[in-house]
Structure 1
Amino acid sequence: MKVGKQGRHRRFMLLALAGILMTLYAVPAQEAAAAPSGIGTHARASALIDVESGRLLYSSNGDTSMRIASLTKIMTAIVAIEHGHLSDTVKVSKRAVGKEGSSIYLKLGEEMSLSNMLYGLMLRSGNDAATAIAEHVGGSEEGFVYLMNQKAQELGLVNSHFMNPHGLDEEGHYSSANDLAKLTAYALKNKAFAEIVGTKQKSAPNPHEKWDYRWHNKNKMLSMYEGADGVKTGYTKKALRCLVSSATRNGQKLAAVTINDGDDWADHRRLLDWGFRHYPLRAIVNKGDNIAGYPYAVGQHFYYPLEDSEAGSIHTALHLIDPLTTAYALGERGSLVISLGDRKLGSVPVYEQGSIRLKLQERTDRSNIR
C-alpha cells in the first residue's frame, strides 16, 4: 500500500515521538500473570513482582486497601532519600522521642546522620527514627506525609493513602499488596535504599554511651533464604503480621508482599521459589542482534520474565524514525517495539550495523554492572 509524502512524514514523526518516550524497561506494573500452577498463601492479601520489569507475577486480593503497619517505612525511606541528603544531621525532637511502638531509643536533642537514622528505621523499625526523619526532611511530620502521598500519586498507587511515616494504626492510613509491590520495585532501584534494606547488621555512633549503637535487621529472610536482599517487616495489633521481602537469583530480582499472614516466612519462601521457577528472566533481544531485512542492529538488551507457554506470544515490530529528527542525526534509526500478545512491553533503540553508538552503549552498560 502506497502512502503519500505528507502521510508518511506524519507517521514518521509519530513514531519518532514514540521512540523517544519509550525506553528500555520503562514498563508500568502489568496485571498479574495467570498462574501456571497452584500457588497460595495464608495472607489476607499478597503479591509477587519482578522488580526490573514491574510485572506482577501473582496477586491475591491485591487491590484491597488494608492496614500495613511498618511496611509504611518503605515509602518513608525512599521519600527521605529522594528529598534529603544522607549526610544531613537530624536532631531528635520531643515528639520523636515520645513515639510509641518499636524504637531505636533516641534521646531528646540527640543528633544523628540521616543515613544512620535510615538504618535504624529499616533494620529496627524505629518509630522514633521515622518521626525524626519526617520532621527533618518534610519540615514537620505533616509536611512529610504530604510528600509521601505525592509520591504515591506519582507512582500510580491508587489504593494507598498515608497519614504518618511510621505505620501505627490510624484511620485513613492504608495501602494494598499490589501497591506495595509496585512501590518496592521502584525503591529497590535506588542504590542507597537497596543497600540499607539488604544490611544484616549496622553500627552507628552513640553520643550517650561508650559503645556504639548496633542494630540487627528484623528481616529473617536475609539469613534464611538464598539470594535474599531486603526489604521490611511490620506488625500492629490491627494489621497483624506484614512482610515485604526481595531476593535475587541468576540476575533476576523478585519482591513478595503479604499482609496479615500468620505464616509469612514460609509463604515468602514459597512465593519467591515459585516466581523464580515459573517466570525466569529471559533475553527477548540482545544488543547487537541484526534485524532481518534491514542494515540495522538492536541497541540494547531487553529482558522480561516469561512463563514457558508465553514465549511463542512475543512479537517485535520495527518502527523507523524521520531522517530529519535530532534522534536520527545522533545515530538512531528507529526502535524495536516488543509485545506479549497485544500488550506492549517496551522498546529498544535501533542503530545502523557497525554504528559507533553500539560501542558507546556497550561501555555504558558495562559501567552499570557492579
Structure 2
Amino acid sequence: MLKSRKVIIIILAVIFFAGMASETPAAEINGISADAAILIDAETGQVLFAKQPFKKRPPASTTKVLTALMAIETGCLKDMVTVSKRAAGTGGSSIYLSKGETLTLSDLIYGALMKSGNDACVAIAEHIAGSVDRFVQLMNIRALAIGTLNTHFTNPHGLPDEEHYTCAYDLALISRNALANMKFSEIVATRDKVIDWPGKEWDRKLHNTNKLLWGYLWADGVKTGTTDAAGKCLIASASKDNRRLIAVVLRSGDRWGDCIRLFEYGFNHYEYRQVAVAGEQYRMLRVQNGTEEAFPVLYESDLGILIPSDTPDAIEIRPEIKAYPMAPLRKGQVIGFVSYYINKQYTGKVKLIAGREVKKQKWWIHFFDSFLRLSWRNFDKCLEK
C-alpha cells in the first residue's frame, strides 16, 4: 500500500514539475558537461536551469547531506559516540576511526561532511537509530517528507548499491532543506577544522573536499561525491547580493567549472521580485447576500520569484478566484489563489483570503433589496420604451 502510494505521488509530482524543469533553456549555458544538472534558488525553490533533473542516478557521497541533516535534527551534538567494529571497518573514504574510540556527534558530522568519512556516517547512523538499517528507513521517510520524487537510499554514506539512487532535482530539494538549518550551513562552509583523535598524540585535521570554497568567491557549501558508478558529483551553494543558489551536477566532466557556470548564469540573468506581501490587499471583491457589497481580498503569505533580467515583463499572473462569493464569510477564509508563471513555467502560488468578516444579510432585507433592484430595472426598461 505504501509503495503504491509512493508511485502515485511520484507520477503526479513528475507531471507537475517536469514542464517547469525540462523547459528551462539549456542553450543559454554553454559547456555543462554533467549528465544531469539543476540550478535552483534556495529561498523560493524556483528552478532556473535543468538538464535531465529527474534521471535516476547513483549519488555517491552526496548522500551524506541527508545523513548529516538527520543527525543534526534528531541528535544532541554534544553526545559522546562510541565507534563500533562495523563503523571502524567501513571501506572507502575515511576519517580513520578505531573500534571503541569515542567522539562527539558533532565531530562525526564534521568528519562526514568535510572529509566525507564513510566510517563517520555508520557511527552516526548507529548512534541515532540503533542500527544502520533503521537509520536508512528513517532516511527514506525523511526524503519523502521533503518531497523527493525519485530517491531510495540503502546506506548512509553512498557507497554503490543498485537500489541506492536519487536524481539531481531530489538532491537540490534535500540540500535546500539542509541549508535552512544554521548548523548544517555552518559546517559545509568550513574549510578546515581540527577534531579529536583519542589515543594519538595529534588531532585529526579535516580539509573540506569542496574546492569551490577556495576557487569561487561566493561559494559557501555543500558536498562532493565520487565513485566509479556515480562519476564526479557535486552539490554546491553560493550566496551573493542576499540571494543563495544551489547547483547539482552528477557525473560531471568538470564539476567545479559546471557549478561556476551555473552560478554565474543564475546571478547574472535573474533578479528577485517580491510579488506578494502577507496582509497586503490584492483587490476588492463583491459579495452576494452580504451585509456589505464588497470586501478586501488579501495575500495570505509572502512570495518572491526570480525574473529574467532581459525580459522583466515575462511574468504572467493567473488568478483563481470565485466571482461574487456568497456570504457569510469569515476573516481569513480562503477565497482563491493567484499563480505566477515565467515564460509559461509555473513559479509559485499564494492563497487569497478574506480581509474581514462579512455577515449574511437577513432574508427579509435580502428579499426587499432584490425586489427594489428588480423594480428599478423594470422601471428603467419602461423609460427606454
Range of TM-score over shorter length: 0.7 to 0.9
Distance (Å, rounded) in 1 between the aligned partners of 2:173 and 2:208: 23
Number of the residue aligned with 2:349? 346
Contact 2:307–2:315 (Cα < 8 Å) also in 1: no
1:139-288 equivalences under 5 Å are 139-286=130-277
User: How far apart are the structure 1 equivalents of 2:34 and 2:106?
Assistant: 33
| 1:160–1:174 contact (8 Å) kept in structure 2 | yes
Q: Does 1:304 align with 2:294?
A: no
TM-aligned CA deviation for residue 323 of structure 1: 7.0
| Cα distance in 1, alignment partners of residues 313 and 26 from structure 2 | 13
Alpha-carbon offset, residue 194 of structure 1: 1.1
Task: Report the more deviating stretch, 302-311 or 270-279.
Answer: 302-311
- 1:66 paired residue number: 57
8 Å contact from structure 1 (residues 97, 105) kept in 2? yes
Partner secondary structure for residue 280 of structure 1: strand
Q: For residues 108-138 of structure 1, what are the alpha-carbon distances to aligned partners after superposition, in whole Å with 9 as ceiling and x for unaligned?
A: 1111111121011000000110110011112
* 1:348–1:87 Cα change, 3 Å: farther
Specify whether residues 35 and 81 from structure 1 end up closer, same or farther in structure 2 by C-alpha distance, changes over 3 A only. same
Residues 1:255 and 1:344: Cα distance change in structure 2 (over 3 Å): closer
CA deviation map 1:280-326 (0-9, x unaligned)? 3222235675556576776764211122436443327596998764x
Asked if structure 2 preserves the Cα contact closer than 8 Å seen for 1:245 and 1:268, the reply is: yes
Contact conserved, 2:216 with 2:260, CA < 8 A, in 1?
yes
Deviation at 1:81, TM superposition (A): 2.0
Q: Secondary structure at the match of 2:246?
A: strand
* CA distance in 2: counterparts of 1:258 and 1:221, whole angstroms: 13
Q: Given the superposition, is the C-alpha separation of residues 277 and 164 from structure 1 closer, same or farther in structure 2, using an over 3 Å criterion?
A: same
- Tell me the SS of whatever aligns to 1:161: coil
Structure 1 residues 278 and 344: alpha-carbon distance in aligned structure 2, compared to 1, 3 A threshold? closer
- Contact 1:29/1:53, CA 8 A, preserved across alignment: no
Instruction: Provide the secondary structure at the position in 1 that maps to 2:112.
Output: helix
User: Which of 123, 127, 133 is equivalent to 1:132?
Assistant: 123
Which residue in the other structure is 1:35 paired with?
25
Question: Aligned partners of 2:175, 2:157: CA distance in 1, in Å?
Answer: 16
The answer as to whether partners of 1:291 and 1:298 remain within 8 angstroms in 2 is yes
8 Å Cα contact 1:29/1:55 also seen in 2: no
Structure 1 residue 80 displacement after superposition: 1.9
Give the match's secondary structure for 2:231: coil
User: 2:72: which partner in 1?
Assistant: 81
TM-score by length of 2: 0.75
Q: Secondary structure at the match of 2:93?
A: coil
1:168 Cα deviation (Å)? 0.8
For residue 223 of structure 1, give the secondary structure of its aligned residue in structure 2: helix
Residue 24 of structure 2 aligns to a residue in which SS? Answer: coil
Say which structure, 1 or 2, has more relative contact order (CA 8 Å, 6+ apart): 1
1:135–1:311 distance in 2 versus 1, CA, 3 Å: farther
> 1:55 maps to what in 2?
46
2:95 to 83, 100, 104: 104
Gaps of 5+ in 2: 1-15, 285-294, 357-385
CA contact (8 A) 2:276 2:350 kept: no
User: Alpha carbons of 1:187 and 1:349: their partners in 2 closer, same or farther (altered >3 Å)?
Assistant: farther
Question: What is the rounded CA distance, in whole Å, between the counterparts of 2:227 and 2:156 in structure 1?
Answer: 14
Unaligned runs of 5+ in 1: 1-27, 354-370
Give the 3 Å change call, closer, same or farther, for CA 132–317 of structure 1 in structure 2. Answer: same
Moved more, 120-129 or 229-238: 229-238
Distance of aligned partners of 1:133 and 1:34 in 2 relative to their CA distance in 1, 3 Å threshold? same
CA 1:335–1:198 in 2, change beyond 3 Å: closer, same or farther?
farther
Q: What is the alpha-carbon distance in structure 1 between the residues aligned to residue 200 and residue 346 of structure 2?
A: 59
User: Following TM superposition, by how much is the alpha carbon of 1:36 offset from its aligned partner in structure 2, in angstroms?
Assistant: 7.8
Q: Which of the two has higher C-alpha Rg?
A: 2
Letter aligned with residue 250 of structure 2: I
Over 3 Å counting, the alpha-carbon distance change for 1:148 and 1:299 in structure 2 is closer
Q: How many residues align?
A: 322
* Structure 1 residues 152 and 317, CA gap change in structure 2 (3 angstroms): same
Task: Assess, with a 3 A threshold, how the Cα gap between structure 1 residues 29 and 193 changes in structure 2: closer, same or farther.
Answer: farther
Give the SS at the match of 2:56.
Answer: coil
Q: Report the CA distance shift for 1:344/1:206 in structure 2 as closer, same or farther (over 3 A).
A: closer
Partners of 2:297 and 2:144 in 1: CA distance? 39
Does the aligned pair in 2 maintain the 1:36–1:307 contact within 8 Å? Answer: no
TM-score (norm 1): 0.77
1:360 aligned residue: none
Equivalent residues of 1:247, 1:255 under 8 A apart = yes
Change (3 A) 1:334 1:127: same
Cα–Cα, structure 1 residues 155 and 288, in superposed 2: closer, same or farther, change >3 Å? closer
